[in-house]
Every structure is written in C-alpha cells, then in structure tokens.
Structure 1
Amino acid sequence: MKTSARTRRVGLYIRISDDREGAGLGVKRQEDDCRELAASLGWNVVEVYDDNDMSASSRRKKRKGYHRMLADIQSGHIDAVIAWHPDRMYRQPRELEDLMDLLDDLDVELRTVRAGAIDLTTPDGRMTARIQVAIAKREVEHRAHRIKRKVQQLVEAGKIHNSGHRPFGYDRIYEGTGSRRKIIEDRLNEDEARYVAEWADRALEGETLYSLVVDSVEKGIKTSTGGDFTYQAMRALLRSGRISGRKEHKGVIVGKAVWPGIISVEKSDALRALLDTKTEEYREEHGERLTTALKYPLSGLIRCTCRVPHVIGEPCDCKEQGLKHHRMRVSPRADRPVSIYTCQKDGGGCGARTIQVPDVEKAMETLVFARMEEVEAAVVEDLDDPRPALEEKLGNMEARVAELEVELDEGDRPVKEITASIQRIKGRMAKVQRELAELTVKKNVTDVGAAELRVEWENYSVPRKQAVYRGLIEEILIHPATRPFNVFNPKRIEVRWK
C-alpha cells in the first residue's frame, strides 16, 4: 500500500448489526476508538459514516453510510478510512471484490482499530482479506441457520416471533426498551377485538370485504400501524389463524398458539375457506371500488338473458354453451329521476334491455321473504347438515396431501408423479372449500328466520341486504319487457337460487 507523510483526510466508518438498546451506544464506542486511532496517526477526521442497527450481510437493505463513503473515496473527498474491524465494512465476498476494484490506482489507506492496516494493493494482502471475509461469511451462514432453527422451534411451540408490527386486536407486552425489545406476551385489546369479532360475523353472513373496509374508514378505525384499513389488510386480518388463537407459518396453520383467540376455530376455518373462494369474485366485482356496489343491494346479481335467451322456468343451458349472462349495471334514466339496470353494450351486451331499480328491488324483497319461509320449512323436515361430511372429506384430502409431500421429500417415487397427484387432490379440495363456503354463508343468512327478516329488513344496511341476497341467490335473470311497456311485469324476473 502506498504511504504518504501528509495529513490524511480520514472518514470513520462505524456500524453495528443489532442495536438492542436503540440508543446507538455500540456505534458511539466504535467512533471513540476510531477517533483515538486517527489522533495517534495525526490524521484529520472529516466525515463519519454511520450505519447503526444495519447488517452487512443483508442484501435487502442498502447501507447508506457505506455507499456514501465509497462515493467520497471515488470523488477524492477522503483519502483514508478507519473502521473498528474489517467485518464492520464488509462481510460478503462480493463487497470485498467491489471495494478492491474501487481502490485500484487510488492512494487510499485503510486502517482498523482491532486488525491494523488492511493492504488491498498486494496479492498477499488481498489473499488475507479474502480468507477473512470467507470466514466471516461462514459465520453469517451458521448464524442464519441457527435463527431459522429458532424460528422453527417458535412455530412448533406456537410462540411469538420477536419481530413484526403489533397485530390488530392485541396489545403487545415487551421486556426491555428500544426498537429491539423482546416480546413476551400478546394480550387481547378489548376494543379492537370487538371489531374483529363483528367483522368476522358480517363476512360469514356474506358481506363483502369492501363494505367492511368502508365501514371501518367511516368509523375512523385504524390498523395497528395507524393507517386506514384496505381490502388487503382486511382480508389478511380475517384470514389469519392468529385471531382464532392459532400459530400460522407461511400461510399454513401449524397448531395452537400461546395467545388467546378472538373468534372460534370453527369460525376461523369457515372464514378462511370463504375468503379463499371469494377473493377472485370480489376482485372482479369490486376491483375498481365502484360506488354502485354500496348503493344498491342487488348490484352484481342482475343479469340480462340477451346472450342466452331461454324460457322462464326451464333450465338454462348457458354453462353447456360456455357462455355467461351479461351483467346489468346501474345508470340514471334520462326521462325521469329514477335509476335503472341497463344491459350495456360494452362487453357484448345488447345495450337495450332495462329495468327500474325500485321495481326489481320491491319484487325481490317479496321473493326473498317467500324463499326464507321455504328454507325454514325444509330445515324442519331435514335436519341433516351436509357440512360435517364435507369437512371430514376435506380433512382426509389434506392428510393425503401431507403424506404425498413426505413421499416427495423421501424421493422414493418420481417427483412428477407425486406433484401431479398433489395438484389433482388440491383441485378437488378447492371444490369442497367452495361448497363449504357457500353452505356456511347460506346457513348464517337463514339462521335469522323469515319472520325476523320481515320485521328487521327496513333497518338493514345496504351491505347487510347484499349479504342476504348473495347468500341465497346465484343470479337474477331479467327477461325482455312485455306489453304494456309502462306497466311492470314481475314475471320478467327469474331467480336462480343457490
């Protein structure tokens, strides 16, 4: 390494990976030692590059202080660097190689408090540095392995990870202070837990997640990080195993946790199946956050038969033809102050068929009350609930998938053969989950009772009315208008019940 008797402009690079106290005491001690070395060398400290609480082995987070130091070396702002130890600057072989490339032909000295001078200009010096960084890399990998094993132990024991934001519905109890304090307990936050339980019930009654999000925003309910709820945040909350007192790892529930549950395991399982089934449907219908979905109870259910006309009362063969009835959307009527459902041309509709919103809503109220009475009568005659049998079937398929995954790890059978079997079973599982989800929503809706529904209907919010309709109805078909055209004909409405 080139040397010079002149007073060098030195930059101090200080870093600590884990500042548990959160007070920067570790980097402060490093800075004091580095300044003492600079004074003994007669060098002038012009910059301090601080990467507190920052790992040198992580590629996810950019070390701003380190990269600022490299830029200052290249520009000539500093011509010497002092660090407490070489591994404060680099713990990855790639970083060392980049540093050596940068220092080629530059008169820059590197010194450390603990390891002395670092000579990256000679073959022997470079070899020594490469050996040191290889040893450091090995230590990092061993540490990563120990951390993964610790995480696995926490998962298996259902314990709390010492990371992440406070979960909504719980108060987090810590030991110690600072940003890296240890989490020792999650206790129920009574106010937030009430919201979670309410949202879970409303979702199980068929209410859309977007209506829950809008309701939470209107009430000023914030997430645990202080922001408004979004569709993704609401879905993640209600789908999590945490709210039922269970440990979840990488999307899979692995067992009972040490914290208390807010809702029952049965409700949680039903919610997870329902949300997994309905996600694409919700995204399709509410992806643009259309206000019509919140203003009109029948939005998303009204369909025009222009694509697949058929006789009322006879089975529709649209599925056999690979076609769908065209969705009708709400728009204002030009000649009077009333909204209408219109089969719009965009997307292939006829662009002509309409029906007034008040007419179809009034007719549907009568039909749904009658349907609820029929369902009640059917329940009295047949008390068999198909859900336990479906849940048992689903459990058997999950067990079979687990067995196949063990076979996959053991390698006794061809990988392609096992993965194909797993995919086939998961396809059948998805079908059972959809069936369970629909039955759960329908049961929650019909549990209300026809008499109670008639009394309370006017007090129901639009989202709750939507939930009742969606729990009972697959789609509502609108047939062509009949003469006289100025008189509403309820026979134009054909309901396909679930």
Structure 2
Amino acid sequence: MTPKAAILLVRISDDDEGDQKGVRRQEADGRALADRLGWTIAEVITENDTSAFKRRKVKLPDGTTALRTVRPGFRAALDKLASGARDGLLAYDLDRTARDPRDLEDLIDVVEARTPRIPVESVTGSLRLANDADVTMARVMVAVANKASRDTSRRVARKHQELAAEGKPGGGGFRGYGYTRDGLEIVPAEAAVVAQVADWIVDEDRSLNWIAAELNRRGVPTVTGVPWNSRAVRSIVTKPRVASLRTHQGEVVGPAVWPPILAHERWEAVCTRLAQRARHADRSLKRWLTGVLRCGRPECGRPLLGWQGINGPRYWCATPRGGCGRIAITARLAEAEVERQVLDLLTDPGILARMHALATAEGTEDARAELAEDEAQLKQLAGAWARKEITFPEYTEARKIIEARIRESRALLVSTAPRALRTLLAGDVVDGWRHLTPADKREIVLTLLPDGYEVLPSDPMKPRRFDPERLHPVTAA
C-alpha cells in the first residue's frame, strides 16, 4: 500500500538558536525519500526543541500521575494514524521518532491495528515496522538509544554537579546579563544597569513595570534584543549569580569564581523588598479567559494561559507549561470580543426563553444521571488503557463515542446556571456584567460554552491586527 496522505514527523531535541535548521534539514531529506518511494506527504508535524527522552510528571486520563515524555506532536500523529485520517508515517531516523520504549509500543499498537499494517519508513532505514522482525529490531534499537540517553544524562548531571561544587559556570543557554559569554567577566555597561535597577527597587521603591518602561525609554538593550518587561527586570537583580553565588538545581551551593555585580547584602536587600511586595500583591484572577481558550492547532489543543508578553498581556499556548508556543492572542481584545458575544447571547429574548425552558425540562435529571455514568465510564476506559487491557486504537475509538454522549448531556444541562448567571439574569444583564468578578465571568462563559473557544492560527493573508474570527466557539457535536 502506497500512502496517499502520509505524515512526515521531524524532531530535534535542542535548538538553542531557535532557527529550526535541524528540523528543516530533516524535512528536506524526508520529502526527497517520499518522492523516491512515491508517497504523498499530506502533513508535516514538527517537534522542534523537543526531547523524546526526558520525562515529566503528568496526570493520566484515569487521574493517576506518572512520568511520561511530553510530545503533543507525536501524540497527534498517533491519533491521526489510528483514526485513518493519515495512512503512513515517515521520519528521519528511529531515534527521531522514539527514544522511550513506551512511545514506540504505542506506535506499534497503532501500526498493527490495521490490515495491512500502516507503512512506516525512515530516511536512514533504521525505522520500519512492516513485519515482526522489523518490530523486534526497532524495540532493540530503542532500548539501546534509551540507554545511551540515560548514560549521557548521567554524565552531564555529574559534570554539572562538579562544576557547581567548584563554583564554575555551567555553560549553555543565553548569556547572563552583566557577564561575558563565558560567565567569568563583568560587562561594565550592563553591571551599571543592574546597580541602577537595585537602587530604584531598594531606595526609590519603584515598580518593576516602571523600571522596564524607563529602561526601554532610555534605549537600554537586553541580552536578546527584545524590550524590557517586569520579568526581565526581576531576573537581572535577583538571580544569585549577580552576588557571585553558584546555584545547582535551583539551590545556592556556595560562592562562585566570578566577581559580583552587587554586594551580597545589597542583593539580599533587593530580594527582600521584592518578596515583601509579593506578599501584598493582588493574586485574584485577572485573565478570566484562562481555562476558556484552547490552542487551535490540531496537534496541540492545550489551554491558553494568561501571560505577560512583550507588547502587554496576552493568552498564549505557553511552552513552559507544555504548550506549542505558536498560538497567542492579545488579552484585552480577546476579552472584549468574548464579552460582546456573551452579552449578545444573554440579551436575546429567544435564547433566554430557551434557557428557562430547558431548566424545567423533564429530561434534565435523566441527562444528569447519564452524564455521571458516562464520565465514570470514561475514567474506567482510561484505566483499562493505562493497564494495557485494551489497545490504543480501541481506547481512542471508545473515547470518541463516550465523549460525544457527554457533550450532548452537557448541552442539555447548560441552563442549570451557576449563581453568578442566575444573579445576572435577574437584573440588567449589561450593567450586571460590569460588576462581575473575573472568576464569575469565566464561570458564565463556561456555562454557556462548556468547551470554550479555540484560538485559530493567524491568517497570513490578512493584515497583522486583531481578527475576531480567530476565536472559534467549540459547540457540542
């Protein structure tokens, strides 16, 4: 079987420069192989700067936690192969596809669930799953690659431990502000900025936002060339390195070999002042669409989080939280658009009448019971997959059926309004909305749209300004 809609999966573990040259080379070689084989590539899934070995503690569908590799792109590829949306997988090499035996086993399950097997090929020839011999060889090679990664990880960890004990720089990453690339010498102009920022914080009690704005006004460059923001300002004066202290795994382990920019007492005074401010900070919810917006890229779909961007607050598929980093939208404009849609809905007499009718419908209690049963069955199904009692394709197919019933039940129960919505509907809706807390606003939006909104990628053919069409309501199927 020659694939007519294959996936080309490209991955690289480290992309310190952020230029994606590694994955681009893999894509070029993969497309060349596809041409030789007569395959049609329907989609390229890119995992740039993504490890196939490092594991993180994640919450499984059955509610338990475990260590897993976090690879949204790879998981999206498995889903599409299992569903039949894609009919082949091409990669550069076996270790570009999997370095964790569990990931390989999930791929094998998907490939063997179809008859004939889903074709899998690689540029180097190291990954083929056409028969039992290929599968056995892939298992052996992944086990070897996994051990090699473990050996490297252990050696690197031991080396960093040794460097930390000696007070030497660890290397890697961006150049630390105030120091040369090797981390051993002070950059005088930047050191003067660090000292000035410390004075503003301790002596003048200036806010971090004010300091960022002042540095931008003066044209002071950052290490990366992007404008200053409050996080960057905090970073240059609170990191222990500016007081000539060496850290390892987040803990100060002793004095460093490089000279200090701030005296130890001055650095402690800065940290103390900022900690005092944090204790009195307002930590109530501000970005009320957090939990409402989701990434609209099919291979991701993670929640967007309220985030302080270069040009102000935004909602972002945050890479530090496992997101793809490729979807963002201006917070203020997104909130205004969702608010407009919600108020249009709640001031429509027909919609209001339907909500009240549904609230008293005889089927409401039955829907609640069915919803509880389906949610319990979904957890049981996830547990069965986690215990390997069913295959991944079986789990995926059953999950779709149950989730469809859950969406139907939730759609019927949408009118069982929370306190905030009942209060809002009892008076002037528009005026009442203005007085709601951000948490209540979010609750109301999720009552009306339990699955929230997808934020779609920007249309490159449209002008670079806010496009409300990127906010796509997710309605019950």
TM-score w.r.t. structure 1 length? 0.44
